[in-house]
Amino acid sequence: MSANRDTPFTPDVTGILLAGGQSRRMGQDKRWVTLEGIPLFHRTLTALIAVFTRIIVVVARRDAMPDSELPAGVEIVQDLIPNCGSAGGLYTGLACSPTPRAFVVACDMPFLNPDLVRHLCAFDPNADVLMVNMAGKVHPMHALYSKQCVPVLAAMLEEKQFKIQNLCTREDLAVRILLGDEIKPWDPQGLSFLNINTPMDLEFAEKLLRNRSGLPSRKSDSE
């Protein structure tokens, strides 16, 4: 697995990749579903390697992720609190992060833009939560979090509150929400936020790759 290392790293932020393996709507483990012969997991991890010197992969079960799938230096951790979905993965990644802040993505996002990730990491060093609002929807799985979120997430999980977006309403956290227009210079069509949940999503992504010169806008996140 290779990545473009000619561009600056973001050393004070850890890259966290959530790869729990829940793929109910896909009908198979989407981590290993391929686009142009490359598994979604590897496509996403390669984008993070281009940006971060520290990367943590969070999985539901450690034995489900062979060490052979990870390049040297990438740490893998198992959910500290099982069966809590993405919120549990976010909690685990942040709790294990060696840096004060972390940028978190899901493993089914094949069009991550390293330049956009760098921009978001540098945008507001004081933000505890930084998300992007695209067409009225905030995206918690392409977002920046500080360790100040760890006790808040722990309390949410204890109360069985699994909606990560609820962090945005917390008065004890510094929250920044960027609008889609603010990231257009890096990602004009918002493809960084496209995730692959269903066979229809995969078909759409394959179409994008076949028509690179004129990428269509996506109408919805997973219908």
pLDDT tens for each residue of 53-96: 999 999 988 877 777 778 877 999 999 999 999 999 999 999 99
pLDDT tens for each residue of 100-127: 999 999 999 999 999 999 999 999 999 9
Query: What is the pLDDT of the chain when averaged over all its residues?
Result: 87
Say whether pLDDT at 216 is over 60. no
Confidence grade of residue 191 (pLDDT, cut at 50, 70, 90): very high
| Confidence at residue 211, expressed as pLDDT on a 0 to 100 scale | 82
Say whether pLDDT at 16 is over 60. yes
| Confidence at residue 25, expressed as pLDDT on a 0 to 100 scale | 62
Say whether pLDDT at 2 is over 90. no
Per-residue tokens: 23: 């793929």
| Confidence at residue 29, expressed as pLDDT on a 0 to 100 scale | 78
Per-residue tokens: 39: 């598994």
| Confidence at residue 198, expressed as pLDDT on a 0 to 100 scale | 87
**DSSP-assigned letters across all residues of 172-198:** TS-EEEEEGGGGTTT-TT-GGG----S
Confidence grade of residue 175 (pLDDT, cut at 50, 70, 90): very high
pLDDT tens for each residue of 19-31: 976 666 665 778 8
Say whether pLDDT at 219 is over 70. no
Say whether pLDDT at 220 is over 60. no
Say whether pLDDT at 202 is over 60. yes
Mean pLDDT of 144-155: 98
Confidence grade of residue 223 (pLDDT, cut at 50, 70, 90): very low
Say whether pLDDT at 162 is over 90. yes
Domains and CATH numbers, the chain: 13-212 (3.90.550.10)
Angle among Cα 96, 98, 101 to the nearest 5 degrees reads 95
CB 110, CB 205: distance < 8 Å: yes
Mean pLDDT of 193-204: 89
Cβ–Cβ contacts within 10 Å for residue 137, how many?
13
CB 146, CB 99: distance < 8 Å: no
> Alpha helices, DSSP H only, in 79-198?
85-96, 114-123, 149-158
